[in-house]
Amino acid sequence: MREWKPHPRAADSLKGSLGQAVLGEQVWACCDPAPLSFAPLRDPAPSPTRQSSRAVQGRVRRRSPPARLSHRCRPGRACTTLREQHLVPKEHRHCPAGAGMLELPFLPFCALLGGLGAVCVAFVSAWCQRWRGGFAWDGSAQMFNWHPVLMVTGMVVLYGAAALVYRLPFSWSGPKFPWKVLHGALALVAFGLAVLGLVAVFSFHNAQGTPNMYSLHSWLGLATVLLFSCQWLAGFVSFLLPWAPAWLRALYKPVHVFFGSTILTLAMVSCVSGINEKLFFSLKNGTTAYSQLPSEAVFANTLGLLILLFGVLVLWALARPDWKRPEPDSVEAHQPLLSAER
Amino acid sequence: MREWKPHPRAADSLKGSLGQAVLGEQVWACCDPAPLSFAPLRDPAPSPTRQSSRAVQGRVRRRSPPARLSHRCRPGRACTTLREQHLVPKEHRHCPAGAGMLELPFLPFCALLGGLGAVCVAFVSAWCQRWRGGFAWDGSAQMFNWHPVLMVTGMVVLYGAAALVYRLPFSWSGPKFPWKVLHGALALVAFGLAVLGLVAVFSFHNAQGTPNMYSLHSWLGLATVLLFSCQWLAGFVSFLLPWAPAWLRALYKPVHVFFGSTILTLAMVSCVSGINEKLFFSLKNGTTAYSQLPSEAVFANTLGLLILLFGVLVLWALARPDWKRPEPDSVEAHQPLLSAER
């Protein structure tokens, strides 16, 4: 027998809306306009999307028999997926939070995004290997080549993966702590790669006698990595160490989320300005000029556009309300919000 | 006597949550947990923030006497501003949607943002005037100088202003149509400036015999302007012309919102890569090299960072849930959603 449980966000929202008197009756459905008039689904045909672990998450327990509500069912949104529409009176089939938003399962999107991230890493590595002379760690131009590879891999692809951890449907059940550790660990690896990327470019400049930190790209790139270090440290202290008071966590969380997206945006800007700058540097004396658009230029320009596509898709996934982890938010911001989740 | 009216989003959300039976009783408050136990505010002391037009927007009418609920009061959020806390039983004082989010009035923020936008335009104009030889429209380098000025003014500052029109509190009452026209008109002016900016750079290149469209900056910049033209046309046809069916408007609206933020992000990336590229071009033969960080380089690098700050603040303002225009969303996505607003 499958375990059905009330949706935490739903119950809390209803608690706020209806008050204790209404809550005296157990709230089983996240946006159940007429609980007693529901017709149970009898032996529903299995479908791939409905069988996913994510779908199971949002389903709700009813005393008997269980009605299977959509996993997209959220407070303020009625259940309008095809399978549920007949359960809900027509006048309640509304969807204010995501009206018109295309129903898209996260996991296939995530697989597509993972593929795109791998393509970005492959492109930047192929560019440096085929056209820029490959890799070394000796202060030469081959050492510089680690800079774009490590920055794209760390600050864009791994950073994006870390940002999306809480969007994984199977992270929504059970304790949050292991997922926090995974989020922090992925971000830490991303940060480590970024630091190595900085070491690569500073070592190359110092070995060649080139000044550091003069271009807009360098100012912005360093600012992005510094912001990332502050973000990681503040996140670690606030959400992973047990000593931060709950009111501080609640206050800091939206700031952390905002800077999460901002740092990714700045990383995208840094990557594109860096690729543009590198092509102007490299494609001049002795090689086909950038303005003649040799194959290297087409390839690296395409890399820049792919990085932007990857970043924009991550930002889009982060912003989609129906992919966000349902948080138990019945408690007030200044009460021990996250203590039970440590 | 002040006019009190029910909050549209609130009433609709409750409709979805409670069903017709509960809605049989008039819903006056947006998240009123215990309507009958409310103690009315007796002769409340006026305060500047509470007297703003925005505050009036969110207030709700009660039969007698009126209880003044916070303008931040939204479905799923209880009223937790200081003045209302005593009205709400402690167990219902929760704020899931914006837990921990700083209360910040939009209009002072908007004034700050307007100032920052003006500084960006002043900086890019001063850069071209003081260090790049001023302006002309004759195919010379002075003609090129219109390119950064028009792009920053159009694609960043005016575009940001157009995006924020619906965040103005006084746009929330009355018909939406005039605000749609303002939104579309500002975007059209921004697009016109961007086209002029493209004409400036193409004319300069053609006059000098420089190839067009080879750098990553040029690919990205042109893609951004083309995306913007599609966005404007689709928005005009869908939301301003009367012939688009309501289901299409409802389906397209989140896409329009998403591409609105994306195009601004791409414009920021284009500006930064363009400034970086221009400095490498300009600061070499006969002038102090970019790598020596002359005053022009410091000034233009700062311009790049200011543009990013402006863009990130606009994206942040667009994403803040409590600054979004409350929409009447009781109707289903596939029913005439916007027809009453024309």
- Rounded average pLDDT over A121-147: 97
pLDDT surpassing 60 at residue A57: no
Mean pLDDT, chain B, whole residue set: 76
* CB contact set of B198 (below 8 Å; sequence gap of 6+): B147, B222, B225
| More confidently predicted of A334 and B309 | B309
Rounded distance between C-alpha atoms, residue A316 and residue A334, angstroms: 30
Give the residue from B12, B17, B252, B335 with the most A CB atoms within 10 Å of its CB, the best one to mutate: B17
Rounded distance between C-alpha atoms, residue B329 and residue A95, angstroms: 8
**Domain extents in chain B:** 8-92, 106-334
Beta-carbon separation of B276 and A216 below 8 A: yes
| Type of residue found at A203 | S
Confidence class for position A119, pLDDT limits 50, 70, 90: very high
Rounded distance between C-alpha atoms, residue B19 and residue B16, angstroms: 6
Q: What is the pLDDT of residue A13?
A: 39
The ipTM estimated for the assembled molecules is 0.74
A96 touches B16 (CB < 8 A): yes
Rounded distance between C-alpha atoms, residue B19 and residue A25, angstroms: 15
pLDDT surpassing 90 at residue A279: yes
pLDDT in tens, B224-241: 999 999 999 999 999 999
Mean pLDDT, chain A, whole residue set: 76
Q: What is the pLDDT of residue B103?
A: 75
| Type of residue found at A292 | Q
B160 touches B166 (CB < 8 A): no
By C-alpha distance, the chain A residue nearest B15 is A92
Please state, as a whole number, how many other Cβ atoms lie within 10 Å of the Cβ of residue B125: 17
B318 touches B165 (CB < 8 A): no
A259 touches A231 (CB < 8 A): yes
Beta-carbon separation of A99 and B262 below 8 A: no
Which member of A95, A219, A280 has the closest CB to residue B333?
Answer: A95
SS3 assignment, position B145: coil
Beta-carbon separation of A319 and B315 below 8 A: no
By C-alpha distance, the chain B residue nearest A299 is B216
B250 touches B200 (CB < 8 A): no
Confidence class for position A80, pLDDT limits 50, 70, 90: very low
Percent of chain B exceeding pLDDT 90 equals 61
A161 touches A318 (CB < 8 A): no
Beta-carbon separation of B327 and A300 below 8 A: no
Please name the residue that has the structure tokens 């199971």: A56
**Rg, Å, chain B Cα set:** 25
Confidence class for position A142, pLDDT limits 50, 70, 90: very high
Residues 58-77 of A with CB under 8 A from B: 75-77
Q: What is the pLDDT of residue A237?
A: 97
Q: Residue A237: what are its φ and ψ, rounded to 5°?
A: -65, -40
| More confidently predicted of B26 and A204 | A204
3-state SS, chain A, equals CCCCCCCHHHHHHHHHHHHHHHHCCCCCCCCCCCHHHCCCCCCCCCCCCCCCHHHHHHCCCCCCCCCCCCCCCCCCCCCCCHHHHCCCCHHHCCCHHHCCCCCCCHHHHHHHHHHHHHHHHHHHHHHHHHCCCCCCCCCCHHHHCHHHHHHHHHHHHHHHHHHCHHHCHHHCCCCCHHHHHHHHHHHHHHHHHHHHHHHHHHHHHHHHCCCCCCCHHHHHHHHHHHHHHHHHHHHHHHHHCCCCCHHHHHHHHHHHHHHHHHHHHHHHHHHHHHHHHHHHHHCCCCCCCHHHCCHHHHHHHHHHHHHHHHHHHHHHHHHCHHHCCCCCCCCCCCCCCCHHHC
By C-alpha distance, the chain B residue nearest A281 is B280
- Rounded average pLDDT over A236-256: 95
B184 touches B240 (CB < 8 A): yes
Rounded distance between C-alpha atoms, residue B264 and residue B254, angstroms: 16
Confidence class for position A102, pLDDT limits 50, 70, 90: low
Q: What is the pLDDT of residue B104?
A: 84
SS3 assignment, position B71: coil
Q: Residue A76: what are its φ and ψ, rounded to 5°?
A: 85, -5
A132 touches A146 (CB < 8 A): no
Beta-carbon separation of B254 and A99 below 8 A: yes
SS3 assignment, position B102: coil
Residues 101-160 of B with CB under 8 A from A: 101-102
- Cα three-residue angle A305-A310-A311, rounded to 5 degrees: 95
Beta-carbon separation of A290 and B95 below 8 A: no
**Closest by Cα among A194, A211, A189 to A270:** A194
* Minimum mean pLDDT range among A58-62, A306-310, B269-273, B291-295: A58-62
Q: What is the pLDDT of residue B274?
A: 98
Tell me B39's DSSP state. Answer: P
Whether a cis peptide bond, with omega within 30° of 0, leads into B65 is yes
B240 touches B178 (CB < 8 A): no
pLDDT surpassing 90 at residue A323: yes
A313 touches A113 (CB < 8 A): yes
SS3 assignment, position B333: coil
| Helix B246-282 with B295-319: angle, nearest 10 deg | 170
Q: Which two tokens stand for residue B2?
A: 């002040």
By C-alpha distance, the chain B residue nearest A306 is B220
Q: What is the pLDDT of residue B271?
A: 98
Please state, as a whole number, how many other Cβ atoms lie within 10 Å of the Cβ of residue A340: 11
Q: A106-334 has which CATH code?
A: 1.20.120.1770
Give the residue from B14, B276, B295, B335 with the most A CB atoms within 10 Å of its CB, the best one to mutate: B276
| Residues in chain B closer than 8 A to A276 (CB atoms) | 215-217, 273, 276-277
Confidence class for position B94, pLDDT limits 50, 70, 90: very low
**Rg, Å, chain A Cα set:** 25
Rounded distance between C-alpha atoms, residue A226 and residue A264, angstroms: 13
By C-alpha distance, the chain A residue nearest B89 is A19
* CB contact set of B312 (below 8 Å; sequence gap of 6+): A262, A265, B268
pLDDT in tens, B161-211: 999 999 999 899 889 999 999 999 999 999 999 999 999 999 999 999 999
B209 touches B152 (CB < 8 A): no
pLDDT surpassing 90 at residue B286: no
* Residue B301 Cα, gap to closest chain A Cα (Å): 5
**Closest by Cα among B90, B94, B24 to A17:** B94
The whole-model pTM stands at 0.74
**Closest by Cα among B250, B254, B237 to B329:** B250
| Residues in chain B closer than 8 A to A254 (CB atoms) | 98-101
